[in-house]
Structure 1
Amino acid sequence: MRSSKNSSRRTAIAMASVAAVLVLAGCSGSTTSTDKTASGTLAINWGGFPESWAPGAEMESGYLRVPYETLVSLDAQGEIRPVLATKWEQTDEALTLTLREGVTFHDGTPFDAEAVKVNLESIRDGKTAYAGPLKVIESIDAVDEHTVRINLAQPTPSLLTQLSTRGAPMGSPKAIKAGTIAQSPVGTGPWAYDAKSSTKGTRMSFQYYDGYWDGEDSVGFQTVELYAIPEDNAATGALATGEIALTDTETSQFSRIESNSALKHLSYPALRNNPMFFDRGKGGAFEDVKVRQAACYALNTEEIAKLEPDFKVRSQHFSEGEPGYNPEVTGYTHDLAKAKELMAEAGNPKVQVEMLAAPFNEKQMQVYAEQLGKIGIDVSVQPAAPPQYFSQWNSGRYALGLGSNDELTPYDWYQAWFAEDAPGNPGKAESAELKKAADAAIAAGATDEADALWQDVTKIISDEALTCAHLAGEELIAWNTKAVTDVKASAQPWETNAIDYKALRPAGK
């Protein structure tokens, strides 16, 4: 998935002025193994760079999981596995973590309980994309150097899952306090950012960190270089020549990739996409549930799926088998007559709203604006550069927005977007029915009744049409087998650009 819909573009500055060597390489059809690979350098293209590297910022795993690590991770079976935390014990009142000893950040700062406290508090208390799910943290105690107790305001069995995601990487507390971490990441991962070897806007270089806790044998490459090639044809050409070893891609490139025996590709579900009705408070454009429902029936996701072949139409946010999935939720199948009927019942109000668009989703928004116009909802799509888009699209300035919800549990999804104090609910609107259902599900904690209660929450969110028109997209990754082997999708679910960097090995070694 690339700029047309990839949420990596929500954190990327798509720069057309790519390094000349890569663009020129993209014109060639040959396949070579580069000196980079031979010297232990892995060159990867994700099409841009994050606007901010600070913990809690919206950066994708393709970037984040080079310098950073999380406290725990998920394996392919969805089980929690140790990373920076080696043991844990959770009750309804607290989550206690035993931390790995002998770990340091790239600036030499010790990784300890105080570091965890600084990271989680900065994410929870800052204006971050992932603050919502961490609001449950009442306080954090550094019990001793390698033990941290996270005190909870309410039972939160999903907290460990949240700590495994890109929403909670561990960054140097020294760099966080200095504010430098936004532009210069400092984590505990195998590779440390090397500003001197980097070229602003073109290449970011990360060198193996000699103090890495898991040792040099745990990685296959000494250097990881991230490139910013936003144009698909140029990226495929650079891949074919071996100037880069791996890239995200699009289905339009498959014929070129498959015609070259050295190139391979894979895909996996990585993106959830849906419009959000932000202005639903008292007097808001979408205050009336019938107007929101009418909008949902007017939207035709099948048209989007035709435009974007790797998008699949969904009835709801969660997949079958995931917590929160409710088989009774059938979604809003496109029905223009039903949409017009609901608008009439609402009194055919004059609805004029704006929504902000970025280059990667403007086409989809224009289609939605045209569809909503058929029932009298006038949507003005305002193009914006990615930095403006990411800071404003869900700020409350715009009544309607198109985003990607990557929350893995219904608790996190509710706390991120629908609770009265959720960061993604700028209008602070929440019905009494939804709050009552969510409170009951939260109180149930990890009991057998909890899943059914969260399914009730999912259904209310659908019935109230707080969001709809769900789509699921696939991440598409291509690589040059003469440069790199052992490429596979990460076990972390619903992460774009997700690969297991530590598992990658130079070809022929």
Structure 2
Amino acid sequence: MKKSTLLVRSLVSVTTLGLVLGACTSTSGETDDPAATQAGDVSSGTVPGSVLRVNWGGFPESWAPGAEMEAGFLRVPYENLVASGPDGEIVGVLATSWEETDEALTLTLREGVTFHDGTPFDAEAVKVNIETIKNTPGPYAGPFQVVESIDVVDPQTVRLNLSEPTPSLLTTLTTRAAPMASPAAIEAGTIAQTPVGTGPWAYDATASIPGTRLVFGPADGYWGEPVGFETVQLVSIPEDNAATAALVNGEIDLTDTEVNQFSTLDAAGTIERLSYPAIRNNPIFFDRGPGGMFEDVRVRQAACSAIDTEVLAELEPDWQVRTQHFAEGEQGFNPDLQGYPHDLAKAQDLYDEAGNPPVDAEMLATVFNENQMKIYAEQMGEIGMNVTVQSAPPPQYFTEWNSGRYPLGLGGNDELTPFDWYKAWFAADAPGNPSGVESPELKAAADAAIAAGSTEQADLLWSVVTKVIQDEALTCAHVAGEELLAWNAETVTGVAEPSERWETNLVNYRDLRPAS
């Protein structure tokens, strides 16, 4: 599963998986319980004994807030303060209302919510979570640097004090950057390996088998609406053919998949599938400080002009070539940008103009992006740049690819707003900018866009920021990928494209029901 970006792949054969799951079956049918409409009782309306078996090909390295984990895992035990609704509007989850000003975001919290370990969900819990995310190295930390301090006004009211206008902060709170975890588990340090959230399914360590199966059973006293499946099991089948066989044979109910599996899936007759846009990635030049091999903008532009993303799209048909990070209709999109079309002669001229400074760069790759990196490295080599690709296991890759140890890297950029994208990768203090270098032009453009807040000028000003980032070739070679899902229609219904945008390995768990 080549594009799965934040996983530790734990090998398990289909035979072994079948033995593990043999006693775990999905029970269909409806309940006649008159309490089925009562929120707060997760078993009401839930099919007793029903089990949803899902494969995302691996498991998170860490479940802690601020760690990079894919949405398919995070959104089982965890909930956010707010969520993205079907039409893109922001709706309340653990927060019921909010007030935004240029100086602060004040949230009113839902009463009567507890974490799976019994810890109360309150303003202090929100404070601990936001501070943990802010202080955890990684791209999620960047957008939260704007939070100067957090006031616990009362148990159900929390105020995030801002250093500058940040109208995109609510959007950030809808994403996988900001799950709410038990502050007791965070303080104890156990949260990394044992998730403790407020969602309808709680982690069951006794039923789980590390590296093979993670079991999430019904959370006692869940505050929200009832869900269809009593239990969610996450399994690990990293190899595409094996995952397809497990789905067709009835050992799992749903999996991510690849285009090369479609013929086998379609032949089964009971398998349905869908795709949705979930992945945006692009190489970023990290070593662009004084004396760095990518200090000269012409060297970066040369590398960008040498890369031919159309080659990638031909080899991987579910990749789409993009001119920029943001899509039309999103803030930050600039209709005048054309990216860096492949032009080897222009690339060579730019490199020659820069004096052909030696580029002897190493990129860190892992199982799901190594081929893509090798294509780009070979293309940059055509103008005399020596770029090598070092393969590493996922845990090392996630820790080091953007740490500054490597002069350039290729990774996912799932930020939804230009403020988040800028703060994560390009601002002088961005976690993804280890050089600490930011041009006066970029800072001026970003400062103007931030100062515009939510005024009519903001969209235009953020599109200027996008243009400066492209002109300076801080990143390039933008591509977007589809998440491909397949499921057994005889065991599960309700699968649809999730309302969350640009999140990988995700299905709308709460809307799924056992087929009958």
Fold match by TM threshold 0.5? yes
Aligned with 2:211: secondary structure?
Answer: coil
1:98 paired residue number: 108
Q: Give 5+ residue unaligned stretches, structure 2.
A: 29-48
- 1:189 partnered with 2:199: yes
Q: Give the aligned residue type for 2:286.
A: F
1:76 paired residue number: 86
Which of 143, 148, 153 is matched with 1:138 structurally?
148
- 1:356 partnered with 2:353: no
2:484 paired residue number: 476
The CA distance in 1 between the partners of 2:421 and 2:90, in whole Å, is 19
Checking the alignment, whether the CA contact within 8 Å between 1:34 and 1:483 is kept in structure 2 is: no
The CA distance in 1 between the partners of 2:3 and 2:346, in whole Å, is 29
1:40 paired residue number: 50
Q: Give the aligned residue type for 1:424.
A: G
Q: Deviation string for 1:297-339 (max 9, x for gaps)?
A: 0000011111111000000000000000000111001000000
Q: Give the aligned residue type for 1:289.
A: V
Q: Give the aligned residue type for 2:202.
A: A
The CA distance in 2 between the partners of 1:168 and 1:34, in whole Å, is 32
Alignment of 1:13-52 (within 5 A): 13-18=8-13, 20-22=15-17, 35-38=25-28, 39-52=49-62
Divergent runs of 4+, >6 A = 23-26
2:307 paired residue number: 299
Alignment of 1:66-215 (within 5 A): 66-215=76-225
Checking the alignment, whether the CA contact within 8 Å between 1:25 and 1:241 is kept in structure 2 is: no
The CA distance in 2 between the partners of 1:409 and 1:276, in whole Å, is 18
Q: Give the aligned residue type for 1:182.
A: A
Aligned with 2:191: secondary structure?
Answer: helix
Checking the alignment, whether the CA contact within 8 Å between 1:53 and 1:185 is kept in structure 2 is: yes
Aligned with 1:204: secondary structure?
Answer: strand
Checking the alignment, whether the CA contact within 8 Å between 2:213 and 2:235 is kept in structure 1 is: yes
The CA distance in 1 between the partners of 2:178 and 2:222, in whole Å, is 20
Q: Give the aligned residue type for 1:127.
A: P
Q: Give the aligned residue type for 1:407.
A: E
1:246 paired residue number: 254
2:281 paired residue number: 273
Aligned with 2:314: secondary structure?
Answer: helix
Q: Deviation string for 1:388-418 (max 9, x for gaps)?
A: 0000000000001001100000000000000
1:347 paired residue number: 355
Q: What is the Cα deviation at residue 368 of structure 1?
A: 0.8
Q: What is the Cα deviation at residue 25 of structure 1?
A: 11
Which of 384, 388, 396 is matched with 2:404 structurally?
396
2:438 paired residue number: 430
Q: What is the Cα deviation at residue 20 of structure 1?
A: 3.0
Q: What is the Cα deviation at residue 13 of structure 1?
A: 1.4
Q: What is the TM-score normalised by the length of structure 1?
A: 0.96
Which of 254, 265, 271 is matched with 1:263 structurally?
271
Q: Give the aligned residue type for 1:154.
A: E
The CA distance in 1 between the partners of 2:314 and 2:18, in whole Å, is 30
Q: What is the Cα deviation at residue 126 of structure 1?
A: 2.2
Checking the alignment, whether the CA contact within 8 Å between 2:13 and 2:237 is kept in structure 1 is: yes
Q: What is the Cα deviation at residue 37 of structure 1?
A: 4.1
2:235 paired residue number: 227
1:286 paired residue number: 294
2:36 paired residue number: none
The CA distance in 2 between the partners of 1:276 and 1:37, in whole Å, is 48
Q: What is the Cα deviation at residue 257 of structure 1?
A: 1.1
Which of 507, 512, 515 is matched with 1:499 structurally?
507
Aligned with 1:56: secondary structure?
Answer: coil
Aligned with 1:326: secondary structure?
Answer: coil
Checking the alignment, whether the CA contact within 8 Å between 2:63 and 2:194 is kept in structure 1 is: yes
The CA distance in 2 between the partners of 1:15 and 1:440, in whole Å, is 47
Q: Give 5+ residue unaligned stretches, structure 1.
A: 27-31
Checking the alignment, whether the CA contact within 8 Å between 1:359 and 1:385 is kept in structure 2 is: yes
The CA distance in 2 between the partners of 1:70 and 1:262, in whole Å, is 34
Q: Which moved more, 1:32-41 or 1:340-349?
A: 32-41
The CA distance in 2 between the partners of 1:239 and 1:17, in whole Å, is 15
- Kindly tell me: are residues 33 and 187 of structure 1, through their superposed partners in 2, closer, same or farther at Cα, counting changes over 3 Å? closer
Aligned with 1:390: secondary structure?
Answer: helix
Which of 4, 8, 30 is matched with 1:6 structurally?
4
- Kindly tell me: are residues 65 and 116 of structure 1, through their superposed partners in 2, closer, same or farther at Cα, counting changes over 3 Å? same
The CA distance in 2 between the partners of 1:222 and 1:23, in whole Å, is 20
Aligned with 2:186: secondary structure?
Answer: helix
The CA distance in 1 between the partners of 2:379 and 2:116, in whole Å, is 51
Q: What is the Cα deviation at residue 22 of structure 1?
A: 3.1
Q: Deviation string for 1:59-84 (max 9, x for gaps)?
A: 11100000000000011221101100
1:29 paired residue number: none
Checking the alignment, whether the CA contact within 8 Å between 2:53 and 2:252 is kept in structure 1 is: yes
Which of 61, 64, 68 is matched with 1:54 structurally?
64
Checking the alignment, whether the CA contact within 8 Å between 1:34 and 1:243 is kept in structure 2 is: no
Q: Give the aligned residue type for 1:328.
A: D
Checking the alignment, whether the CA contact within 8 Å between 1:415 and 1:422 is kept in structure 2 is: yes
Q: Give the aligned residue type for 1:158.
A: S
Aligned with 2:245: secondary structure?
Answer: helix
Q: Deviation string for 1:24-51 (max 9, x for gaps)?
A: 899xxxxx99833453111000000000
The CA distance in 2 between the partners of 1:293 and 1:126, in whole Å, is 32
